[in-house]
Structure 1
């Protein structure tokens, strides 16, 4: 696995309001906007920010909080390796409608880690 980028995913009630704050005050720009989330980036080395809507049926969106996301290469192979090692996979490998391939695992203290192989985002 090679980590190529990092993102902090924050689950909030109003992604648009948070996006306005980050774009107005902190120099981020929106790179992907869907009904479920807004992805923000900067041109420097800052981690990307993903603002996810709270209350969706998906386990990762049910309550306010965050998850630690790493963009990686070879996400399918990492899913198999971690499954074989006995890691607690809380969302199996899947492909999102916009092209990302991802899965989630949870550490013993409840920290949700998402490994994702991003499809190219077109702004």
Structure 2
């Protein structure tokens, strides 16, 4: 088996607001769109599909579910502090400020208008103390 691409599909209440968030703040481009649907792409990250909650293209048992309990994480190599500052200066609420975990993970989180948690991660040397 060989994968040719990776996509995460998120069911949200307001496709347009998540689409705007991902394109304005995370560098995604709109690939395709229709009523209740948007496909976003970025060459160095997983593609994102946004589907409106209640859309009939989903199986009935999935139609009313929202994206929850999912953290969309992006690993960076350098510039984590600069990204947090850039997003904060753009008016994006930092919902988990930059911190470093004992195992060496540096991270911060933002949340899009539909509650999708986006985490930015950078690996550092773990604490030895």
TM-score for the superposition, normalised by structure 1: 0.49
TM-score for the superposition, normalised by structure 2: 0.47
Higher relative CO (Cα under 8 Å, sequence separation at least 6) belongs to 1
Structure number with greater Rg is 2
